[in-house]
């Protein structure tokens, strides 16, 4: 064996000598100057020297220079050097996941079994941190090919990296849930899995994740490391429309000593706010000392009162915050906006404008375009042009280009609702002349298998074009049904994105349908969707920009306060 190694070293040395001097130009800078010095001293440079030189690399350029130098000197870059270059590229000094992935992919498959698993894990972690799903997935698969025992951290990192394939992501999550949960599990792993469930709008999977993590959650009482994932799951339950599960999680948080933490309490208040549960919000506030209230809690509670129509409770809370400034935090602009929203939804525009005036008198609050948008939106429903014009002028003065464009569209709708078609046309022409483009409305439908499809107005996703005839037939059925019920079928005639997505879901046999819209739901879609739940015997969980709407048996959880 020793003789064989000696012969190999001799052959390598002879091959390097036959290559001769590689660089005969002017002295090079950076790490390559050390290569030139070594060559002048020893007559040749070996792979071991270049590999050790890689450890000094501080950026991607230096790593590439050393790898290119090795390629010039040898008949194929040695896998050991490529492995070291991969390790350095994914390490803290270089931190380049794309380069690390490229170098790892250049190692021959026959040499991969010899690559240290630590290198693969460093690449996986670095790619996960930079959300490079392709590199992370490749490193994860190579770990599997080496028959390396995979840890929960390995799974969490590849899932967190942002894999393009939802099917692959789902498979990895399910594989992880088949393994026992370690009691020393990093809570961030639970957070990664819950985030996947949130993106996929899958509360059932979130429930499985929560149960799977029970051994870690029950290790010790009052484990503050778990407060953020508890808050995350509470918010997910609220957004998914399952307030019953949210109450169960809240009770568990109380039993384990986490409920007193502000982030957990605030998340429960936010879950209640999404459903306008003002009574439960009041009960929860009774248990919170004034000194423990923070801005997040105050805004969440005010939003709950606003969404339920309990503006008296909202006003009383804001009064308490303003009067006891030494014990409670000063109200934020979001707090005032929540109260303005409550008054505007209740058609009490005089009180809404009075609250805006009060906010403008507060040096730390003031007004903004979001506050005025909460006034402008309800003007369409209540057909109040004078207040709408006041809000519109303020938005044009304060707003971002996106909000200004939205205000033009809303004003056009308000004029149309009031029968002023010329005013509506004038608003649209003025918007186009100013080059203000409104964000395009889009609805994402999540299928039972986790697939997602995005619908736009009068536009079916290209992959679903074969279902066009079935969708159109279903829309015609609904239009006839709504006519018999005396409900406007405007959203169907205009083929709003919600209706296209809903029709496709029903034609695919879905009974519990999850829709997510990037804008607020409109009146026509809201009323039509409620009636369709009766006709089709379905339930709809509809997230819009403002809140969640759970529709079933002709009713909505928002109690028509949208």
Torsions phi, psi for 516 (to 5 deg): -135, 120
Q: Domain boundary residue among 416, 438, 460?
A: 438
Mark whether 414 and 520 lie in a shared domain. no
Mark whether 509 and 460 lie in a shared domain. yes
Mean pLDDT of the chain: 87
For residue 285, is it within any domain? no
8: confidence class by pLDDT, cuts 50, 70, 90: very low
Torsion of CA 53, 54, 59, 60, to 10 degrees: 130
User: What residue ranges in 475-560 does DSSP mark as E strands?
Assistant: 512-517, 539-543, 548-552, 555-556
Mark whether 433 and 458 lie in a shared domain. no
Mark whether 482 and 423 lie in a shared domain. no
For 276-320, what is each residue's pLDDT tens digit?
Answer: 788 899 999 888 877 778 888 888 898 888 888 889 999 998 888
Domain that holds residue 388: 367-438
Residue 365 contacts residue 331 (beta carbons within 8 Å): yes
Least confident of 309-313, 529-533, 558-562: 558-562
Q: How many domains does the chain have?
A: 2
Mark whether 400 and 457 lie in a shared domain. no
For 19-77, what is each residue's pLDDT tens digit?
Answer: 344 555 677 788 888 887 887 787 777 888 888 888 889 999 999 999 998 888 887 78
- Confidence (pLDDT) at 19: 39
Helix segments in 20-96, DSSP class H = 32-42, 47-54, 60-73, 79-90
The contacts of residue 292 (CB under 8 Å, 6+ apart) are: 260, 262, 265
What distances in angstroms separate CA 555 from CA 16, 504, 552, one per listed residue?
Answer: 81, 22, 5
For residue 417, is it within any domain? yes
Q: Domain boundary residue among 381, 416, 438?
A: 438
Q: Is the backbone of residue 74 left (phi > 0), alpha (psi -120 to 50) or beta? A: beta
Residue 104 contacts residue 138 (beta carbons within 8 Å): yes
Q: Which of 467, 476, 480, 479 is nearest to 509 (CA)?
A: 467
List beta partners, residue 185: none
SS3 per-residue string spanning 255-304: HCCCCCCHHHHHHHHHHHHHCCCHHHHHHHHHCCCHHHCCHHHHHHHHHH
Cβ atoms within 10 Å, residue 312: 11
- Confidence (pLDDT) at 365: 86
For residue 549, is it within any domain? yes
What distances in angstroms separate CA 414 from CA 18, 171, 377, 419, 486, one per listed residue?
Answer: 84, 48, 9, 9, 22
Mark whether 456 and 421 lie in a shared domain. no
User: With 60 as the cut, is the pLDDT of residue 260 above it?
Assistant: yes
For residue 302, is it within any domain? no
Q: What is the residue whose two structure tokens read 């056009």?
A: 412
Mark whether 456 and 552 lie in a shared domain. yes
Cβ atoms within 10 Å, residue 364: 9
Mark whether 508 and 463 lie in a shared domain. yes
Q: Would the pTM count as exceeding 0.85?
A: no
- Confidence (pLDDT) at 24: 59
91: confidence class by pLDDT, cuts 50, 70, 90: very high
Mark whether 465 and 533 lie in a shared domain. yes
Torsion of CA 318, 322, 323, 324, to 10 degrees: 100
What distances in angstroms separate CA 51 from CA 43, 63, 70, 88, 120, one per listed residue?
Answer: 18, 10, 9, 10, 18
For residue 177, is it within any domain? no
For residue 468, is it within any domain? yes
For residue 180, is it within any domain? no
Stretch 348-367: mean pLDDT: 91
> What is the token pair recorded at 60?
């991607």
389: confidence class by pLDDT, cuts 50, 70, 90: very high
Q: Which of 131, 134, 132, 158 is nearest to 144 (CA)?
A: 158
Spatial separation of the C-alpha atoms in residues 293 and 318, rounded to whole Å:
12
Mark whether 421 and 447 lie in a shared domain. no
The contacts of residue 60 (CB under 8 Å, 6+ apart) are: 89, 94, 96, 99
Stretch 406-418: mean pLDDT: 94
Cβ atoms within 10 Å, residue 104: 25
Q: For the chain, report the end-to-end CA distance as a whole number of angstroms.
A: 81
For 460-510, what is each residue's pLDDT tens digit?
Answer: 999 999 999 999 999 999 999 999 999 989 899 989 999 999 999 999 999
For residue 428, is it within any domain? yes
Cβ atoms within 10 Å, residue 193: 27
- Confidence (pLDDT) at 276: 79
Residue 269 contacts residue 304 (beta carbons within 8 Å): yes
Residue 372 contacts residue 394 (beta carbons within 8 Å): yes
Q: Domain boundary residue among 438, 462, 478?
A: 438
- Confidence (pLDDT) at 264: 92
Mark whether 500 and 532 lie in a shared domain. yes
Mark whether 400 and 419 lie in a shared domain. yes
């Amino acid at each position: 064996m020793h003789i064989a190694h000696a012969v190999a070293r001799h052959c390598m040395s002879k091959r390097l000598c036959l290559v001769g001097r590689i660089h005969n130009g002017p002295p090079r800078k950076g790490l390559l100057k050390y290569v030139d010095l070594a060559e002048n001293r020893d007559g040749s440079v070996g792979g071991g020297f270049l590999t050790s030189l890689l450890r000094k690399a501080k950026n991607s350029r230096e790593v590439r220079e050393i790898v290119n130098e090795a390629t010039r000197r040898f008949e194929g870059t040695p896998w050991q050097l490529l492995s070291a270059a991969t390790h350095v590229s994914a390490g803290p000094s270089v931190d380049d996941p794309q380069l690390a992935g490229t170098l790892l992919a250049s190692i021959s498959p026959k040499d991969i079994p010899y690559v240290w698993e630590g290198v693969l894990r460093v690449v996986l972690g670095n790619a996960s941190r930079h959300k490079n799903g392709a590199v992370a997935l490749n490193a994860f698969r190579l770990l599997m090919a080496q028959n390396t025992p995979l840890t929960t951290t390995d799974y969490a990192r590849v899932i967190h990296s942002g894999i393009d394939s939802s099917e692959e992501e789902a498979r990895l999550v399910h594989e992880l849930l088949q393994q026992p949960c370690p009691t020393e599990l990093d809570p961030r792993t639970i957070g990664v899995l819950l985030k996947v469930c949130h993106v996929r709008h899958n509360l059932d999977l979130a429930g499985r994740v929560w149960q799977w993590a029970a051994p870690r959650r029950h290790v010790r009482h009052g484990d503050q490391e778990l407060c953020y994932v508890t808050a995350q799951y509470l918010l997910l339950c609220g957004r998914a429309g399952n307030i019953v599960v949210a109450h169960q999680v809240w009770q568990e948080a109380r039993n384990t000593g986490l409920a007193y933490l502000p982030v957990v309490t605030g998340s429960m208040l936010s879950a209640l706010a999404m459903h306008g549960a003002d009574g439960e919000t009041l009960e929860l506030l009774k248990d919170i000392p004034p000194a423990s209230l923070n801005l997040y809690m105050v805004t969440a509670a005010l939003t709950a009162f606003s969404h339920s129509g309990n503006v008296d409770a909202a006003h009383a809370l804001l009064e308490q915050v303003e009067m006891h400034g030494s014990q409670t935090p000063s109200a934020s602009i979001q707090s005032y906006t929540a109260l303005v929203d409550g008054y505007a939804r209740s058609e009490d525009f005089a009180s809404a404008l009075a609250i805006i005036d009060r906010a403008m008198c507060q040096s730390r609050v003031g007004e903004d375009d979001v506050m005025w948008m909460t006034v402008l939106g309800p003007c369409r429903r209540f057909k109040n042009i004078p207040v709408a014009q006041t809000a519109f002028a303020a938005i044009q003065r304060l707003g971002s280009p996106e909000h200004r464009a939205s205000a033009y569209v809303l004003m056009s709708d308000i004029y149309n609702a009031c029968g002023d078609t010329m005013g509506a046309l004038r608003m649209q022409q003025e918007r186009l002349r100013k080059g203000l483009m409104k964000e395009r409305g889009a609805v994402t439908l999540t299928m039972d298998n986790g697939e997602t499809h995005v619908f736009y107005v009068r536009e079916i996703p290209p992959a679903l074009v074969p279902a066009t005839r079935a969708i159109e037939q279903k829309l015609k059925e609904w239009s006839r049904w709504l006519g018999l019920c005396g409900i406007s079928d405007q959203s169907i005639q205009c083929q709003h994105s919600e209706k296209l997505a809903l029709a496709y879901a029903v034609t695919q046999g879905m009974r519990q349908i999850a829709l997510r819209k990037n804008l607020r739901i409109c009146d026509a879609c809201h009323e039509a969707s409620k009636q369709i739940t009766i006709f089709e015997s379905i339930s709809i969980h509809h997230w819009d920009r403002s809140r969640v709407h759970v529709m079933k048996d002709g009713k909505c959880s928002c109690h028509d306060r949208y």
